[in-house]
Structure 1
Amino acid sequence: MTIVQGHKQHFLVLDGMRGIAALIVAGLHARELMIGGRLLDHSYLAVDFFFCLSGFVIAYAYEGRLASGMRLATFAKLRWIRLYPMIFIGALLGGLVLIAGRKDGIIVPTVITIGTMLLIPAGFFFRKQAYPSDNPIWSLFFEVIANIVYALSPRLSARSFGALLLLSALGYVAICYAFDGMQLVGFDSWWSFAAGFVRVTFPFAAGVAIFRLGLHRRSGVPTWLPLIALPALLLFPIASQAIADAVIALVCLPALVVLGARTAPAAALAPWLKALGELSYPLYLLHQPILRVVKNAPHIDVVRSIHPLLPPLMGIILAVVASAIAIRVYDRPVRKLLTAHLGRVAA
């Protein structure tokens, strides 16, 4: 069943869905790096699922506290402690991999890595993507922006918030049309980076709306339904990228967040779903540098000759193991240390 911590529920099925989405992103990058070919599925929309889920979780966790007078500095401190340690280690690991590759010397990868640590899209200055050392960090930039705007914005009336949802949905459709889908929006160029502000607005606001409308309060949904529906939706090949991306992001992904929030899992599944949720964030930020190491490892062609899927599978398994280790030896201890130094108010 759903765990209740204090006065707040812990949505275990959403945890599991978050972990599944992170594995889908890792699989996407493994295919791109080691197999190639045109994508016909919509696995990149896992990021939009993250945005929607984040909007719901942030509103659920903080809306009451912000309305009761929580200071922006306190909110920012809490979010920084939660997000930044893994951003730092992901950027550092990715930067070391870039430097080891020796393709651009040492200075360029170092500048890119420092920029990534500061969430600056320094790759654009060198005719690369926004964050070449660890590309998934682009979505964390927009996550941070969405969090700040949410905390700064006064509580909108239902009519004003509805107008925001409608306008952001129209903007999302326009971006889908302009870029022929969302696959490269947010990181591929200055224009796509600017479009990322539009990309994050609707799903994050939709997540907030799910909380404000109370759509998460009912239960009775079978556990398997959202857990199977998410990968089925994102991995099913559909030829028309732009139209399909818009429909999936505007309708299907918010509906899946609602289903996941309403679902109470069987007790036997609870530890697995919790573990998937905990693994999702470090896996999201560590998998790409590890995949690059595996791709360029000595004798990897011998492994590939056995079966072309073995190298990407090895990379994903190594990323999962590294993420599990990072949780225990790095993320938890560092966040505990930061909480202690930054004050008990951030506990």
Structure 2
Amino acid sequence: MSQSTNKHFEILDGMRGVAAIIVVAFHILEAFALGDRKSQIINHGYLAVDFFFVLSGFVIGYAYDNRWDKMTLGGFFKRRIIRLQPMVIMGSIIGAATFYLQASPELYANLASTEVKDVIIVMLIGFTMIPVGRSFDVRGWGEMYPLNGPGWTLFFEYIAYTLYALILRRLPNIILMILAGIAAGFLIHLSVTADTGTVAGGWSLDPEQLKVGMIRLSYPFLSGLLLSRFMKRTHIKHSFLISSILMALVLSLPRLGGDTNWINGLYEALVIIFIFPLIVYLGANGEIKNEKARKFAKFLGDISYPIYITHYAFIYMYTAFVFNEVLPEKQNYGLAAVYGVLTFVVSILVAYLSVKFYDEPLRKWWSKKWLKS
């Protein structure tokens, strides 16, 4: 695939936004399924993370593979930091600011006993993307970023960028294909042997969860990187619509196999191995000709990363409300629906305001300050 023109993939931006929006809806509905995740509506919403890893591998390969004769390692990492860190900081700030509004003694066991200074310390550590262990588990969920749970995916993104910059970019395609095949084997093994029948996991700083996170990262990132190198450009009509429908279907499909866990696990592995690269392929080979659809895709792309990295503070609050006021007596479902819609809208609004009045200006300033060309 020619990389001489630095083509911008507006459909892939839109697809990232579609996946991020589905993640928000998934997390809102997850509040009602804490005790029985098999009944979760939008049951496979967590697989959006694996799609993000595929997309990341593709974009990194396309954007940087042919630039290393003019770019240093420092320049590469500066660009990644400029792209990601402003919203990482914002996500930590919002998580800290709303922390005590998430009160639920049974749900968040450590919240009530956590002092303000500890919240501030965890927030400042979160700015740096350094993960924390149980000594700083201010919530009690065992998250490596307890003020902003989804931060764990950025931790693995940075691992992927480091491996790419130091090793993967230098490897011939045949070696990358062998590594991707091995990674796919590990992914299938994880998915069909997991006690939960899912690939979900990776958010805790312990050996088992780190292993899950690395397995979830490895094949998707490698497959995206290979796709960026092998893909032959073509033109696929209606690819944005087709990709969006396909994404919605695979993420919202009910759990498969009942109590036979390996069936659901195998489904998830096959989605990650085949469907997500297909969606990226469709998106990279499409074109949006309708101006309204183009603006909508741009809007989705603009808010995709900000909404993903800031929405979970509001999810903590909403989940606490459902756990405290709805589930015990099985009441207030109407109010829960109103609050759920409000949580969804607020998440989008905060993301939009953050990107327009904070993220884009700060990234522009950092770029001028840090990058000479």
Note whether the superposition's TM-score is higher than 0.5: yes
The answer to whether the Cα contact below 8 Å between 2:22 and 2:45 also exists between their aligned partners in 1 is yes
The answer to whether the Cα contact below 8 Å between 2:55 and 2:280 also exists between their aligned partners in 1 is yes
The answer to whether the Cα contact below 8 Å between 2:86 and 2:359 also exists between their aligned partners in 1 is yes
How far does the alpha carbon of each residue in 1:24-71 deviate from its partner, in whole angstroms, 9 at most, with x for none?
1111211223664424521100000000001101111111102x2411
How far does the alpha carbon of each residue in 1:59-118 deviate from its partner, in whole angstroms, 9 at most, with x for none?
11111102x241100000011000000001101211222245452322443343233222
- Which of 347, 367, 370 is the aligned partner of 1:319? 347
Alignment of 1:237-256 (within 5 A): 237-239=254-256, 240-256=263-279
2:10 is matched with which residue?
12
Alignment of 1:160-175 (within 5 A): 160-175=175-190
Q: Does residue 185 in structure 1 map to residue 201 in structure 2?
A: yes
1:114 is matched with which residue?
124
Aligned partners of 2:311, 2:199: CA distance in 1, in Å? 18
Q: TM-score, normalised by structure 1?
A: 0.89
1:144 is matched with which residue?
158
1:94 is matched with which residue?
95
Shift in Å, 1:312:
1.6
1:206 is matched with which residue?
223
Deviates more, 1:260-269 or 1:91-100: 91-100
Aligned partner of residue 64 in structure 1, secondary structure: coil
Q: Does residue 104 in structure 1 map to residue 127 in structure 2?
A: no
Cα distance change of structure 1 residues 57 and 97 upon mapping to structure 2, 3 Å threshold: same
Q: Does residue 218 in structure 1 map to residue 218 in structure 2?
A: no
Shift in Å, 1:249:
0.6
Aligned partners of 2:253, 2:99: CA distance in 1, in Å? 33
Shift in Å, 1:213:
0.4
Unaligned runs of 5+ in 2: 104-110, 257-262
Aligned partners of 1:221, 1:304: CA distance in 2, in Å? 46
Aligned partners of 2:335, 2:289: CA distance in 1, in Å? 37
Aligned length: 338
Cα distance change of structure 1 residues 225 and 197 upon mapping to structure 2, 3 Å threshold: same
Alignment of 1:22-171 (within 5 A): 22-33=20-31, 36=34, 37-39=36-38, 40=40, 41-66=43-68, 68-100=69-101, 101=103, 103-106=112-115, 107-125=117-135, 126=137, 128-153=142-167, 154-171=169-186
The answer to whether the Cα contact below 8 Å between 1:146 and 1:204 also exists between their aligned partners in 2 is yes
The answer to whether the Cα contact below 8 Å between 2:199 and 2:268 also exists between their aligned partners in 1 is no
1:21 is matched with which residue?
19
2:260 is matched with which residue?
none
The answer to whether the Cα contact below 8 Å between 2:129 and 2:155 also exists between their aligned partners in 1 is yes
The answer to whether the Cα contact below 8 Å between 1:295 and 1:311 also exists between their aligned partners in 2 is no
Cα distance change of structure 1 residues 77 and 133 upon mapping to structure 2, 3 Å threshold: same
Aligned partners of 2:162, 2:275: CA distance in 1, in Å? 26
Aligned partners of 1:262, 1:98: CA distance in 2, in Å? 43
Deviates more, 1:41-50 or 1:168-177: 168-177
Identity of aligned residues (%): 29
How far does the alpha carbon of each residue in 1:242-287 deviate from its partner, in whole angstroms, 9 at most, with x for none?
1111111111111111111111123231111011011101000111
Aligned partners of 2:237, 2:225: CA distance in 1, in Å? 21
Cα distance change of structure 1 residues 110 and 241 upon mapping to structure 2, 3 Å threshold: farther
The answer to whether the Cα contact below 8 Å between 2:88 and 2:151 also exists between their aligned partners in 1 is yes
Aligned partners of 1:339, 1:45: CA distance in 2, in Å? 32
Q: TM-score, normalised by structure 2?
A: 0.84
Deviates more, 1:186-195 or 1:10-19: 186-195
Aligned partners of 2:177, 2:205: CA distance in 1, in Å? 31
Query: RMSD between aligned alpha carbons?
Result: 2.5
Aligned partners of 1:294, 1:309: CA distance in 2, in Å? 11
Aligned partners of 1:249, 1:294: CA distance in 2, in Å? 29
The answer to whether the Cα contact below 8 Å between 2:58 and 2:225 also exists between their aligned partners in 1 is yes
Aligned partners of 1:72, 1:182: CA distance in 2, in Å? 36
Aligned partner of residue 170 in structure 2, secondary structure: coil
Q: Does residue 197 in structure 1 map to residue 214 in structure 2?
A: yes
The answer to whether the Cα contact below 8 Å between 2:156 and 2:214 also exists between their aligned partners in 1 is yes
Aligned partners of 1:301, 1:182: CA distance in 2, in Å? 29
1:310 is matched with which residue?
338
Aligned partners of 1:320, 1:262: CA distance in 2, in Å? 28
Aligned partners of 1:254, 1:61: CA distance in 2, in Å? 17
Cα distance change of structure 1 residues 150 and 200 upon mapping to structure 2, 3 Å threshold: same
Shift in Å, 1:193:
2.3
- Whose helix proportion is higher, 1 or 2? 1
